[in-house]
Amino acid sequence: MKKQQIPVVLCLLMMSHSLPSLASNEAYQKAMQLEIIQLYQAGSIDALQKSANAFTRIASMNPDEWLPHYYAAWAYVHMGFRSQGNLKEKDGFYAEAKKHTEKAGKISTNNSEIVALQGYIIMGELSADPATRGQQLSALAMQTFGKAISLDQENPRALLMMAQMEWGTAQFFGQGPEKACGLLQSSLALFEKESATVEKESLKPAWGKEYAEGLKAEICTN
C-alpha cells in the first residue's frame, strides 16, 4: 500500500511547487494586459506618468521580463513628445526612457523592438532641439533604426520610424518622399501580417499601424 501511495505524494508535492509560479505568471499576464490598454489610451502626461509608474512596479516584481521596462520607456518617450515645457523637462523624460530601455536590453539582448524604441527616443531628443542636435542625432537615429531592421527585417515599427527619418531628411534637402513612402508601404504590409498572426492578448508591442497610415496619407501621393 505504501509503495502505491509514494507516486501520488510525489505528484502532489510537484503540483504544490508549480502552482505558485503558475499563479504568478497569470497575475503578470493580467496586470500587463490591463496596463497596456491603459497606456495606449493615455491622453495626457499625467496619464502616461501613471502608466510608467505601473510598469515600473511590474518590472520590479518581474526582474526577468523585458516588456515592463519597454512599456515604461514608451510612456516616458511620449511624455517627452507631448511636453510643452522647457528643454530640461523634455530631456528628463527622455533620460527616464533611456534608463528603461537599457534595463530591457540587458534582459533581452539584440532585441529589434528595444533598439527601435531607443531610436525613437533619439528622435525625441532631436525634435526637442533640432537646431543644435540635428546633425549629430539625425545620423545616430538612422543608424539605430538600421540596426533594429537588421535584427528583425519584419519589425514594422523599425521601418515606420526609419520612414519618418527619411521623410525629415528629404524635406531638409528639398527632395521627394519616394524613399520614405516605400518604407511606409513595407511597414504597412508588415503591420497587416502582424495583425493577422499575433494573438489579441499578446503582450508584444503592436503600436504604430494607425500612425503609419496617417503618415502615408500625408506624404505619399500614389
DSSP H stretches of helix in the chain: 2-41, 45-61, 67-82, 87-107, 112-128, 130-151, 156-172, 178-197, 209-219
Q: Where are the domains of the chain?
A: 28-109, 138-222
Task: Phi first, then psi: give them for residue 203, nearest 5 degrees.
Answer: -90, -5
Angle separating helix axes 45-61 and 87-107, nearest 10 degrees: 30
Q: Give the model's pLDDT for residue 20.
A: 43
Q: Give the model's pLDDT for residue 172.
A: 86
CATH code for the part of the protein at 28-109: 1.25.40
Write down the mean pLDDT value for the chain. 90
Q: Give the model's pLDDT for residue 164.
A: 95
Q: Give the model's pLDDT for residue 17.
A: 45
Q: What is the pTM of this model?
A: 0.88
Q: Give the model's pLDDT for residue 221.
A: 75
Cell of 7: 507516486
Q: Give the model's pLDDT for residue 7.
A: 53
Which stretches of the chain score pLDDT less than 50? 1-6, 8-23
